[in-house]
Amino acid sequence: MEDKGYIFTPLTFLLFIPVIIIAVSFSSIVNEVNTISSIAIGGEVTSEIASNIVEAITEDAQDAGRNAAFNATRTVIDNYTGDNDPFFGGPVNPSDSRTYIKTNTLNMINLNITNTCRVLENQTGRIITINGNVINQSGTGQVNIFNSSNIGIVQSDPWGFNITLTSVAVQVNETSSTNNQSSTFSTPPINAYISIEKLEDPYIWVNSKGRNSSVIYKYPYFTSSFSFNGVTNDLHFADNKSTGKLDYLAECLIGSNQSDFGNLPYYFPDNYGLSFFDRLENQTNTSSNSAPNTRMSTFILWNPTQENEGTTSSMIDHEYFTDTPGHTITVNGSVMQTPLGTPLYVSSNSAYNSYLGLSYTY
Protein backbone atom coordinates (compact mmCIF):
# COMPACT_ATOMS: atom_id res chain seq x y z
CA MET A 1 0.00 0.00 0.00
CA GLU A 2 2.97 2.27 0.33
CA ASP A 3 2.77 3.51 -3.24
CA LYS A 4 -0.68 4.88 -2.45
CA GLY A 5 0.45 6.76 0.65
CA TYR A 6 -0.57 6.51 4.28
CA ILE A 7 -4.13 6.70 5.60
CA PHE A 8 -4.57 7.58 9.28
CA THR A 9 -7.58 6.66 11.40
CA PRO A 10 -8.55 9.22 14.05
CA LEU A 11 -6.88 7.10 16.75
CA THR A 12 -3.60 6.61 14.93
CA PHE A 13 -3.53 10.32 14.06
CA LEU A 14 -3.68 11.16 17.78
CA LEU A 15 -0.70 8.86 18.34
CA PHE A 16 1.22 10.28 15.39
CA ILE A 17 4.19 12.52 16.29
CA PRO A 18 5.17 15.02 13.58
CA VAL A 19 8.76 15.15 12.47
CA ILE A 20 10.17 18.50 13.66
CA ILE A 21 13.32 19.90 12.13
CA ILE A 22 15.03 22.76 13.96
CA ALA A 23 16.65 25.13 11.47
CA VAL A 24 19.10 27.82 12.62
CA SER A 25 19.04 28.99 16.23
CA PHE A 26 18.95 32.76 16.65
CA SER A 27 19.25 32.71 20.44
CA SER A 28 21.99 35.36 20.35
CA ILE A 29 20.22 37.78 18.01
CA VAL A 30 18.50 40.82 19.52
CA ASN A 31 14.72 40.24 19.83
CA GLU A 32 14.89 37.25 17.48
CA VAL A 33 13.10 33.98 18.19
CA ASN A 34 14.15 30.47 17.24
CA THR A 35 12.92 29.42 13.80
CA ILE A 36 11.36 25.97 13.67
CA SER A 37 10.27 24.14 10.53
CA SER A 38 7.63 21.47 11.23
CA ILE A 39 7.27 18.72 8.63
CA ALA A 40 4.53 16.14 9.03
CA ILE A 41 4.50 13.08 6.78
CA GLY A 42 1.03 12.23 5.55
CA GLY A 43 -1.12 11.71 2.46
CA GLU A 44 0.77 10.78 -0.71
CA VAL A 45 4.26 10.33 0.69
CA THR A 46 6.52 11.00 -2.26
CA SER A 47 4.83 14.21 -3.39
CA GLU A 48 4.66 15.40 0.23
CA ILE A 49 8.42 14.93 0.53
CA ALA A 50 8.94 16.98 -2.61
CA SER A 51 6.77 19.80 -1.24
CA ASN A 52 8.54 19.71 2.11
CA ILE A 53 11.98 19.94 0.50
CA VAL A 54 11.04 23.11 -1.39
CA GLU A 55 9.56 24.65 1.76
CA ALA A 56 12.62 23.71 3.83
CA ILE A 57 15.04 25.23 1.30
CA THR A 58 13.10 28.50 1.27
CA GLU A 59 12.94 28.78 5.05
CA ASP A 60 16.55 27.72 5.53
CA ALA A 61 17.74 30.39 3.07
CA GLN A 62 16.04 33.06 5.18
CA ASP A 63 17.28 31.66 8.50
CA ALA A 64 20.83 31.00 7.32
CA GLY A 65 21.19 34.42 5.66
CA ARG A 66 20.08 36.26 8.81
CA ASN A 67 22.35 34.11 10.97
CA ALA A 68 25.34 34.70 8.66
CA ALA A 69 24.74 38.48 8.74
CA PHE A 70 24.59 38.41 12.54
CA ASN A 71 27.77 36.33 12.76
CA ALA A 72 29.53 38.76 10.43
CA THR A 73 28.79 41.69 12.77
CA ARG A 74 29.95 39.68 15.79
CA THR A 75 33.13 38.58 14.03
CA VAL A 76 34.08 42.22 13.54
CA ILE A 77 33.06 43.46 17.00
CA ASP A 78 34.30 40.52 19.07
CA ASN A 79 37.70 40.25 17.38
CA TYR A 80 38.68 43.88 16.97
CA THR A 81 42.17 44.53 18.36
CA GLY A 82 42.77 48.09 17.21
CA ASP A 83 44.55 47.54 13.92
CA ASN A 84 41.54 46.77 11.69
CA ASP A 85 42.61 43.15 11.17
CA PRO A 86 39.15 41.60 11.75
CA PHE A 87 37.57 43.63 8.97
CA PHE A 88 36.84 41.59 5.89
CA GLY A 89 39.31 42.62 3.24
CA GLY A 90 42.02 43.24 5.85
CA PRO A 91 45.40 41.49 6.16
CA VAL A 92 44.06 38.63 8.31
CA ASN A 93 40.78 38.10 6.47
CA PRO A 94 41.54 38.62 2.77
CA SER A 95 37.94 37.85 1.86
CA ASP A 96 35.11 40.40 1.83
CA SER A 97 31.87 40.65 3.76
CA ARG A 98 29.67 39.43 0.90
CA THR A 99 31.84 36.35 0.39
CA TYR A 100 31.85 35.68 4.14
CA ILE A 101 28.05 35.89 4.38
CA LYS A 102 27.54 33.87 1.21
CA THR A 103 29.92 31.11 2.36
CA ASN A 104 28.38 30.87 5.82
CA THR A 105 24.84 30.92 4.44
CA LEU A 106 25.75 28.14 2.01
CA ASN A 107 27.22 25.96 4.78
CA MET A 108 24.17 26.39 7.01
CA ILE A 109 21.72 25.64 4.21
CA ASN A 110 23.63 22.50 3.23
CA LEU A 111 23.80 21.28 6.83
CA ASN A 112 20.11 21.91 7.54
CA ILE A 113 18.84 20.41 4.28
CA THR A 114 21.09 17.37 4.77
CA ASN A 115 19.64 16.78 8.23
CA THR A 116 16.07 17.43 7.06
CA CYS A 117 16.32 15.02 4.15
CA ARG A 118 17.93 12.27 6.24
CA VAL A 119 15.02 12.41 8.66
CA LEU A 120 12.58 12.30 5.75
CA GLU A 121 14.43 9.31 4.26
CA ASN A 122 14.44 7.44 7.57
CA GLN A 123 10.75 8.14 8.15
CA THR A 124 9.56 7.15 4.68
CA GLY A 125 12.11 4.75 3.19
CA ARG A 126 12.71 7.04 0.21
CA ILE A 127 16.01 7.97 -1.43
CA ILE A 128 16.49 11.70 -2.00
CA THR A 129 18.89 13.16 -4.54
CA ILE A 130 19.32 16.95 -4.82
CA ASN A 131 21.47 18.73 -7.39
CA GLY A 132 23.10 15.39 -8.24
CA ASN A 133 23.98 14.65 -4.58
CA VAL A 134 22.56 11.53 -2.90
CA ILE A 135 21.65 12.36 0.69
CA ASN A 136 22.12 8.78 2.02
CA GLN A 137 20.04 8.23 5.16
CA SER A 138 22.77 6.16 6.81
CA GLY A 139 25.48 8.69 6.01
CA THR A 140 27.16 11.08 8.41
CA GLY A 141 28.31 14.64 8.00
CA GLN A 142 27.14 17.40 5.71
CA VAL A 143 26.35 16.83 2.04
CA ASN A 144 27.35 19.82 -0.11
CA ILE A 145 24.02 19.98 -1.89
CA PHE A 146 24.41 23.54 -3.14
CA ASN A 147 27.70 25.02 -4.30
CA SER A 148 28.97 28.58 -4.75
CA SER A 149 27.56 28.76 -8.28
CA ASN A 150 24.05 28.18 -6.88
CA ILE A 151 24.01 31.10 -4.41
CA GLY A 152 24.17 34.87 -4.78
CA ILE A 153 23.68 38.09 -2.81
CA VAL A 154 21.66 40.97 -4.25
CA GLN A 155 21.07 44.22 -2.36
CA SER A 156 18.42 46.67 -3.53
CA ASP A 157 17.76 48.75 -0.39
CA PRO A 158 19.67 49.78 2.75
CA TRP A 159 17.72 47.60 5.18
CA GLY A 160 18.66 44.13 3.97
CA PHE A 161 19.73 41.96 1.08
CA ASN A 162 18.41 39.01 -0.90
CA ILE A 163 19.87 35.51 -0.86
CA THR A 164 19.22 33.86 -4.22
CA LEU A 165 19.41 30.14 -4.96
CA THR A 166 19.24 28.77 -8.47
CA SER A 167 16.81 26.05 -9.49
CA VAL A 168 18.19 22.54 -8.87
CA ALA A 169 16.98 19.06 -9.78
CA VAL A 170 15.42 16.87 -7.07
CA GLN A 171 14.61 13.18 -7.30
CA VAL A 172 12.68 11.19 -4.70
CA ASN A 173 12.69 7.42 -5.21
CA GLU A 174 11.05 4.61 -3.27
CA THR A 175 13.43 1.87 -2.15
CA SER A 176 10.91 -0.88 -2.96
CA SER A 177 11.81 -2.76 -6.15
CA THR A 178 8.15 -3.57 -6.88
CA ASN A 179 6.40 -0.22 -6.55
CA ASN A 180 9.15 2.09 -7.89
CA GLN A 181 7.27 5.21 -6.92
CA SER A 182 9.34 8.28 -7.78
CA SER A 183 9.12 12.01 -8.32
CA THR A 184 11.53 14.14 -10.32
CA PHE A 185 11.24 17.91 -10.43
CA SER A 186 13.22 21.15 -10.27
CA THR A 187 12.97 23.54 -7.35
CA PRO A 188 11.83 27.07 -8.17
CA PRO A 189 14.50 29.78 -7.98
CA ILE A 190 14.65 31.01 -4.38
CA ASN A 191 14.80 34.72 -3.58
CA ALA A 192 14.78 35.27 0.19
CA TYR A 193 14.93 38.75 1.71
CA ILE A 194 17.26 39.02 4.73
CA SER A 195 16.56 41.93 7.06
CA ILE A 196 19.50 43.54 8.90
CA GLU A 197 17.28 45.52 11.25
CA LYS A 198 18.10 45.07 14.97
CA LEU A 199 21.67 44.01 14.21
CA GLU A 200 24.47 45.95 15.89
CA ASP A 201 26.43 48.30 13.64
CA PRO A 202 30.12 47.24 13.72
CA TYR A 203 31.25 50.45 11.99
CA ILE A 204 30.16 52.65 14.89
CA TRP A 205 31.35 50.27 17.59
CA VAL A 206 34.87 50.02 16.18
CA ASN A 207 35.31 53.68 15.23
CA SER A 208 34.04 55.18 18.48
CA LYS A 209 36.76 55.54 21.09
CA GLY A 210 34.28 54.71 23.82
CA ARG A 211 33.12 51.54 21.98
CA ASN A 212 29.60 52.87 21.77
CA SER A 213 26.96 50.54 20.37
CA SER A 214 24.35 51.38 17.75
CA VAL A 215 21.59 49.09 16.56
CA ILE A 216 20.11 49.43 13.07
CA TYR A 217 16.52 50.65 13.19
CA LYS A 218 14.87 52.08 10.09
CA TYR A 219 13.72 55.71 10.10
CA PRO A 220 10.00 55.33 9.31
CA TYR A 221 9.10 58.72 7.80
CA PHE A 222 10.98 58.78 4.50
CA THR A 223 9.24 58.25 1.17
CA SER A 224 10.77 56.99 -2.06
CA SER A 225 10.00 57.81 -5.65
CA PHE A 226 11.36 55.85 -8.58
CA SER A 227 12.94 57.69 -11.48
CA PHE A 228 14.73 56.60 -14.64
CA ASN A 229 18.10 56.82 -12.88
CA GLY A 230 17.11 55.02 -9.69
CA VAL A 231 15.45 55.80 -6.37
CA THR A 232 14.98 59.29 -4.93
CA ASN A 233 14.30 59.55 -1.20
CA ASP A 234 12.50 62.38 0.55
CA LEU A 235 13.45 62.28 4.23
CA HIS A 236 10.86 64.84 5.42
CA PHE A 237 13.30 66.01 8.10
CA ALA A 238 12.08 69.60 7.78
CA ASP A 239 8.36 68.91 7.87
CA ASN A 240 6.95 71.22 10.52
CA LYS A 241 4.11 69.53 12.33
CA SER A 242 4.22 72.04 15.16
CA THR A 243 5.52 75.56 15.63
CA GLY A 244 9.26 75.95 16.15
CA LYS A 245 10.26 72.30 15.79
CA LEU A 246 11.45 70.03 12.97
CA ASP A 247 9.47 67.09 14.25
CA TYR A 248 10.65 64.31 11.95
CA LEU A 249 14.31 65.25 12.40
CA ALA A 250 13.73 65.34 16.16
CA GLU A 251 12.08 61.92 16.05
CA CYS A 252 14.96 60.55 13.97
CA LEU A 253 17.35 61.72 16.70
CA ILE A 254 15.26 60.13 19.45
CA GLY A 255 15.02 56.92 17.41
CA SER A 256 14.03 53.59 18.87
CA ASN A 257 13.69 52.72 22.54
CA GLN A 258 13.45 48.99 21.82
CA SER A 259 17.16 48.38 22.29
CA ASP A 260 19.01 47.23 25.40
CA PHE A 261 21.25 50.25 24.78
CA GLY A 262 18.36 52.70 25.29
CA ASN A 263 17.04 55.22 22.77
CA LEU A 264 19.15 55.17 19.61
CA PRO A 265 18.80 57.40 16.51
CA TYR A 266 17.15 55.86 13.49
CA TYR A 267 19.08 55.02 10.32
CA PHE A 268 17.90 56.90 7.26
CA PRO A 269 18.51 56.17 3.56
CA ASP A 270 21.44 58.25 2.36
CA ASN A 271 23.04 57.94 -1.08
CA TYR A 272 26.20 59.45 0.40
CA GLY A 273 26.32 57.13 3.41
CA LEU A 274 27.53 53.56 3.92
CA SER A 275 25.87 50.22 3.12
CA PHE A 276 25.74 47.31 5.56
CA PHE A 277 28.64 45.68 3.74
CA ASP A 278 30.62 48.95 3.86
CA ARG A 279 30.10 49.04 7.62
CA LEU A 280 31.40 45.49 8.01
CA GLU A 281 34.52 46.38 6.02
CA ASN A 282 35.08 49.85 7.56
CA GLN A 283 34.85 51.49 4.17
CA THR A 284 34.48 55.22 3.64
CA ASN A 285 31.75 56.74 1.51
CA THR A 286 34.41 57.47 -1.13
CA SER A 287 36.06 54.01 -1.12
CA SER A 288 32.70 52.20 -1.18
CA ASN A 289 31.57 50.52 -4.37
CA SER A 290 28.03 49.92 -3.07
CA ALA A 291 25.12 51.21 -5.13
CA PRO A 292 23.93 54.61 -3.82
CA ASN A 293 20.41 53.35 -3.12
CA THR A 294 21.77 50.69 -0.71
CA ARG A 295 23.45 53.17 1.63
CA MET A 296 22.29 54.62 4.95
CA SER A 297 23.44 56.96 7.74
CA THR A 298 22.59 57.71 11.35
CA PHE A 299 23.47 60.39 13.89
CA ILE A 300 26.15 60.24 16.59
CA LEU A 301 24.79 62.14 19.58
CA TRP A 302 27.36 61.87 22.34
CA ASN A 303 29.63 64.82 23.03
CA PRO A 304 31.94 65.31 20.02
CA THR A 305 34.80 66.29 22.32
CA GLN A 306 34.80 62.69 23.54
CA GLU A 307 36.06 61.67 20.11
CA ASN A 308 37.59 64.79 18.59
CA GLU A 309 38.98 67.20 21.14
CA GLY A 310 38.00 70.82 20.63
CA THR A 311 35.91 70.29 17.49
CA THR A 312 32.24 70.59 16.57
CA SER A 313 31.99 67.75 14.07
CA SER A 314 28.99 66.94 11.97
CA MET A 315 26.95 64.33 13.81
CA ILE A 316 26.18 62.36 10.62
CA ASP A 317 28.10 59.15 11.28
CA HIS A 318 30.47 58.99 8.30
CA GLU A 319 31.30 62.70 8.70
CA TYR A 320 31.62 62.43 12.47
CA PHE A 321 34.36 59.80 12.29
CA THR A 322 36.28 61.77 9.66
CA ASP A 323 36.10 64.89 11.87
CA THR A 324 34.16 66.87 9.26
CA PRO A 325 33.11 70.28 10.63
CA GLY A 326 29.42 70.62 11.37
CA HIS A 327 26.87 73.41 11.22
CA THR A 328 24.04 74.19 13.61
CA ILE A 329 20.37 74.54 12.64
CA THR A 330 18.51 77.57 13.95
CA VAL A 331 14.72 77.26 14.30
CA ASN A 332 12.81 80.44 15.22
CA GLY A 333 15.98 81.99 16.61
CA SER A 334 17.04 79.00 18.74
CA VAL A 335 19.75 76.44 17.97
CA MET A 336 18.20 72.97 17.61
CA GLN A 337 19.23 70.61 20.39
CA THR A 338 19.85 66.87 20.51
CA PRO A 339 17.88 64.70 22.98
CA LEU A 340 20.91 65.06 25.25
CA GLY A 341 20.47 68.84 25.35
CA THR A 342 23.55 69.71 23.27
CA PRO A 343 23.58 71.62 19.96
CA LEU A 344 22.88 69.48 16.89
CA TYR A 345 25.54 69.73 14.18
CA VAL A 346 24.66 68.67 10.65
CA SER A 347 26.85 68.66 7.56
CA SER A 348 28.72 71.87 6.76
CA ASN A 349 28.56 70.81 3.10
CA SER A 350 25.62 72.88 1.91
CA ALA A 351 25.04 70.70 -1.17
CA TYR A 352 24.90 67.55 0.96
CA ASN A 353 22.67 69.24 3.51
CA SER A 354 20.38 70.30 0.68
CA TYR A 355 20.23 66.67 -0.44
CA LEU A 356 19.07 65.80 3.08
CA GLY A 357 16.38 68.44 2.75
CA LEU A 358 17.76 70.67 5.51
CA SER A 359 18.51 74.37 5.75
CA TYR A 360 20.65 76.04 8.39
CA THR A 361 17.95 78.54 9.36
CA TYR A 362 14.16 78.25 9.73
Per-residue model confidence as pLDDT tens digits over 167-200: 999 998 876 655 666 778 899 999 999 999 999 9
pLDDT (0 to 100) of residue 81: 79
Residue percentage of the chain with pLDDT more than 90: 51
Cα distances from 297 to residues 111, 271, 315, in angstroms, run: 36, 9, 10
| pLDDT winner (highest mean) among 27-41, 87-101, 347-361 | 347-361
Confidence of residue 229 (pLDDT cuts 50, 70, 90): low
Residue at 136: amino acid letter: N
pLDDT (0 to 100) of residue 242: 59
| pLDDT winner (highest mean) among 39-53, 60-74, 89-103, 173-187 | 60-74
Question: For the residues 154-176, what does the mean pLDDT come to?
Answer: 91
pLDDT (0 to 100) of residue 349: 94
Measured distance CA(318)–CA(279) in Å, rounded? 10
The residue that leads in pLDDT, 312 or 303, is 312
**72-93, pLDDT tens digit by residue?**
999 999 888 776 667 887 766 7
Confidence of residue 212 (pLDDT cuts 50, 70, 90): confident
Measured distance CA(205)–CA(80) in Å, rounded? 10
pLDDT (0 to 100) of residue 123: 83
pLDDT (0 to 100) of residue 226: 61
The residue that leads in pLDDT, 2 or 17, is 2
Query: Would you say residue 35 has pLDDT above 60?
Result: no
Confidence of residue 31 (pLDDT cuts 50, 70, 90): very low
The residue that leads in pLDDT, 143 or 184, is 143
Measured distance CA(26)–CA(98) in Å, rounded? 20
pLDDT (0 to 100) of residue 261: 63
Question: For the residues 310-326, what does the mean pLDDT come to?
Answer: 89
pLDDT (0 to 100) of residue 70: 96
256-293 b/e (C-beta count within 10 Å ≥ 16 → b):
beebeeeebbbbbbbbbbbbbbbbbbbbebeebebebb
pLDDT (0 to 100) of residue 220: 94
Specify the pTM. 0.82
How many CB atoms within 10 Å of residue 23?
23
pLDDT (0 to 100) of residue 41: 39
Terminal Cα distance for the chain, rounded: 80
Q: Which residues contact 226 (CB under 8 A, 6 or more apart)?
A: 232
Which of 33-37, 112-116, 347-351 is the least confident region?
Answer: 33-37
Question: For the residues 108-118, what does the mean pLDDT come to?
Answer: 93
Q: Which is nearest to 201 in space by CA: 296, 136, 93?
A: 296
Measured distance CA(51)–CA(117) in Å, rounded? 12
